[in-house]
Amino acid sequence: MSARKLDITRLGGQGDGIAETDSGQIFVPFTVPGDVVTAGVEKSRGTLISVLEPSPDRVTPPCPHFGPDDDEAGCGGCALQHVADGTYQDWKRGLVVAALDARGITAEVAPLVSCAPHARRRVVFAARRTDKGAILGFNRAQSHHIVAIETCVVATTRISQALPALRRLATAVAVGREAFRISVLDAVPGLDIAVDAPFKLTEQDRLRIISAVRAEPLATRLTFNGESLIEKQPPELEFGSVTVNPPPGGFVQASNAAEMVMGDLVTGHLKKSKRVVDLFSGSGTFALRLAQQSHVHAVEADAASLAALDRAARRTQGLKPVSVEKRDLFRRPLMLSELKAYQGLVFDPPRAGAEVQVADIARSTIKHIAAVSCNPVTLARDLEILIKGGYRLTSVTPIDQFLWSSHVEVVALLERPKR
């Protein structure tokens, strides 16, 4: 590794600063366009050594745990806290623009919808047993090394303030030396905690963990590898005006504020659709909102999430009819004949997108489509299929649900023009 002086000119797709050199591009994490830095360089990767001339767009990170990979403070949870808001927002919106351009899609991309710090209600921590108790934090970028954290400016205030309690619970859980994950959801009336670990518990371990949860006021439920150990009260989330009891470790949108923006975009676009199908519905983020105005058929592969959606719909007065179907849409997408029953459709697939399903949607007569994705690249691929099938892209809205990371949520709205 050799030390070199580098001029940083722009940000790459993962948030690393890029220096253009005679030997090619060099990617240097924790740098900003306009920085002049010294970096240790090995092939196309650089490790920041010092900032010789800081960019006007370099700011002081708000979190004490943010820092370079070789800094013990660097937790790996965020990549861009050191970048000024304007530059950061332009860059994140640019991720969506670039993904669409790569597919030849011309569309006006709306300004980035910002999310404030302390808005993330779903956080996944890494933990491991040590001789002094459990260590709880995040994996350093591209590493299995867990950096312990004392605070988190991304997580909700309740999660951040509960870190000492979560560390005590991790200590109770850590019967093996292997690292494990703790998913924490800030719900009503407290924190919903789901542990995913490579080791097994004895009955004595279970009793110890239950006792530890009872001693922590903020913990309302704890599950271990899908097994419910204790539930003081069922966790609750609000999807529009509908109360849902999410399954342990089930998928929910990471930020409530982002979810509300997404929900408004989807329901507004599909408001004239008498019958709507929600694909990859989860526990009903969109289906239960849409049921206030339309008949909804929700399709989801995860049985627990679908059951939560169904229970919520059945006990809520004033909704239009809601039907549910357990179905793996990657293996068995809805066929053209099945899609004929609907005037509106929303899909929110995993990061891989919905290529196979979208091929059938593109041949359908559905009038209005809302496409939601946390991956602009696969979304652009799916949008290209729909556009080639005759759909018109009417709006694209990027939402900064994953603050200071290289991930961005997108809601794209399409309609089939009248013949």
DSSP per-residue string spanning 240-301: TTEEE-PPTT----SBHHHHHHHHHHHHHHTTT-SEEEEES-TTTTTHHHHTTTSEEEEEES
Q: Which residue's entry shows tokens 């676009």?
A: 269
Q: At what angle do helices 376-388 and 85-102 cross, to 10 degrees?
A: 40
Q: What pLDDT sits at residue 104?
A: 98
Q: Which residue type is seen at 139?
A: N
User: Which residues on adjacent β-strands are paired with residue 221?
Assistant: 192, 231
Q: Taken in order 38, 42, 44, 48, is the CA torsion positive or negative?
A: negative
| pLDDT of residue 19 exceeding 60 | yes
Average the pLDDT over 393-408 and give the result.
97
| pLDDT of residue 179 exceeding 80 | yes
Average the pLDDT over 5-32 and give the result.
96
pLDDT in tens, 287-301: 999 999 999 999 999
Q: Is 374 a catalytic residue?
A: yes
| pLDDT of residue 70 exceeding 70 | no
| pLDDT of residue 72 exceeding 80 | no
Q: Which domains does the chain have, with CATH numbers?
A: 2-58 (2.40.50.140), 93-115+252-415 (3.40.50.150), 122-231 (2.40.50.1070)
Residue 280 annotated as part of some ligand binding site:
yes
Q: What pLDDT sits at residue 73?
A: 55
pLDDT in tens, 91-149: 999 999 999 999 999 999 999 999 999 999 999 999 999 988 899 999 987 788 999 99
| pLDDT of residue 309 exceeding 90 | yes
User: Which residues on adjacent β-strands are paired with residue 133?
Assistant: 130
Phi, psi for 48 (deg, rounded to 5): -65, 125
Q: Note the pTM of the prediction, 2 decimals.
A: 0.95
- To the nearest whole percent, how much of the chain has pLDDT over 70? 99
How many C-beta atoms lie closer than 10 Å to residue 396's C-beta?
25
- To the nearest whole percent, how much of the chain has pLDDT over 90? 94
Query: Which has more confidence, 273 or 67?
Result: 273
Q: What pLDDT sits at residue 381?
A: 98
Q: What pLDDT sits at residue 310?
A: 98
Please report which helix (H) or strand (E) contains residue 133, including its range: strand 133-139
Q: Taken in order 83, 84, 90, 93, is the CA torsion positive or negative?
A: positive
Q: What pLDDT sits at residue 69?
A: 54
Average model confidence (pLDDT) across the chain? 96
Rounded Cα gap, residues 113 and 382, in angstroms? 22
Counting beta carbons within 10 angstroms of the beta carbon of residue 218, is it exposed (0 to 12), middle (13 to 18) or buried (19 or more)?
Answer: middle
Catalytic residue among 63, 75, 78, 374: 374
| pLDDT of residue 71 exceeding 70 | no
Q: What pLDDT sits at residue 418?
A: 85
| pLDDT of residue 168 exceeding 90 | yes
Q: What pLDDT sits at residue 419?
A: 72
Phi, psi for 184 (deg, rounded to 5): -125, 125
Residue 348 annotated as part of some ligand binding site:
yes
| The token pair that represents 119 in the structure block | 């808005």
Rounded Cα gap, residues 291 and 288, in angstroms? 5
Q: What pLDDT sits at residue 244?
A: 98
Query: Which has more confidence, 321 or 71?
Result: 321
